[in-house]
Amino acid sequence: MNSLGKRVSYRRRILGLSQRELGKQIGISQQAIERLENDATKNPRNLLKLADSLGLDPHELVHGTTADRLMTLKEDSIPPYAPSHNSLRDLPVMGAAQGGPDGNLIMNDDPIDWTDRPQTLLGVTEAFAVYITGDSMSPKYEDGDLLYIHPNRPFKKGRYVVIETTDQRGYIKQFRKWDETDLIVRQFNPAKDLRIPRASIERVMLVIGSMDS
């Protein structure tokens, strides 16, 4: 990873972001991100915002220091949702599609199915997958897509999460922020922010990748 562009591309894919999504976070176009990743832009003006969106120190992003912390995965494991060639179908699918406009799931105590475990979830014993239902997160996720969930990895604004409520319902949304009383998330179709009371939330977990239906 001896160039800024390669580090940006690698880290963006680790985080499961498209070029368009990363550009939107820092206020530039998808084409600008593409030029940056191709090393056509040597001194990006949005370096601080870029480093923050990628979860890196600016010096680390530019100079590639502290490589062990940056390179958390081998490059041949990207995209993060690609199944391992040696994997077993040992990842439980814990969500049953219920249909309806809200795209909500029922989070089961027992698996409804099993699927291949992606490289990024090897050794994560509490990881699982869910099927998304409805089109409330289209075009990011479509009805029937399989989402891979890391229950312990931290997340930040703009990442996608599954919210499990105390009545065992689940919602796939884009994380915005917490406030004193609610979790604030975004859906895309129709586009609006939603507030979910903290008291009704069992846990919130990071979506680390997906597979199209």
Asked which of 41, 72, 103 is the last residue of a domain, the reply is 72
Say if residue 106 is in the same domain as residue 191: yes
Say if residue 95 is in the same domain as residue 60: no
Which of 54-58, 60-64, 133-137 is the most confident on average? 133-137
Model confidence at 98: pLDDT above 80: no
Say if residue 114 is in the same domain as residue 201: yes
CATH number, domain of 175, equals 2.10.109.10
Higher pLDDT, 137 or 76: 137
Instruction: Please report whether residue 15 resides in a domain.
Output: yes
pLDDT band of 100, cuts 50, 70, 90? very low
Q: Which H, E and C letters describe the chain, residue by residue? A: CCCHHHHHHHHHHHCCCCHHHHHHHHCCCHHHHHHHHCCCCCCCCCHHHHHHHHCCCHHHHHHCCCHHHHCCCCHHHCCCCCECCCCCCCEEEEEEECCCCCCEEEECCCCCEEECCEHHHCCCCCCEEEECCCCCCCCCCCCCCEEEEECCCCCCCCCEEEEEECCCEEEEEEEEEECCCEEEEEEECCEEEEEEEHHHEEEEEEEEEEECC
- The pLDDT tens digits for 188-213 are 988 999 999 999 999 999 999 988 76
Say if residue 65 is in the same domain as residue 137: no
pLDDT band of 94, cuts 50, 70, 90? confident
Say if residue 99 is in the same domain as residue 66: no
Asked which of 13, 41, 72 is the last residue of a domain, the reply is 72
Question: Mean pLDDT across the stretch 131-159?
Answer: 89
Say if residue 101 is in the same domain as residue 37: no
Say if residue 65 is in the same domain as residue 103: no
Say if residue 97 is in the same domain as residue 181: yes
CA geometry: angle 11, 17, 18, nearest 5 deg: 115
How far apart (Å, rounded) are the C-alpha atoms in residues 85 and 74?
A: 14
Model confidence at 10: pLDDT above 90: no
Say if residue 126 is in the same domain as residue 189: yes
Say if residue 58 is in the same domain as residue 99: no
- The pLDDT tens digits for 172-184 are 999 999 999 999 9
Instruction: Please report whether residue 206 resides in a domain.
Output: yes
Residue-averaged pLDDT of the chain: 80
Number of domains in the chain: 2
The pLDDT assigned to 102 comes to 55
Model confidence at 160: pLDDT above 90: yes
Token duo for residue 195? 């507030």
Instruction: Please report whether residue 108 resides in a domain.
Output: yes
Instruction: Please report whether residue 176 resides in a domain.
Output: yes
CATH number, domain of 28, equals 1.10.260.40
Instruction: Please report whether residue 82 resides in a domain.
Output: no
Instruction: Please report whether residue 84 resides in a domain.
Output: no
How far apart (Å, rounded) are the C-alpha atoms in residues 76 and 64?
A: 19
Structural domain including 28 reads 4-72
Say if residue 102 is in the same domain as residue 66: no
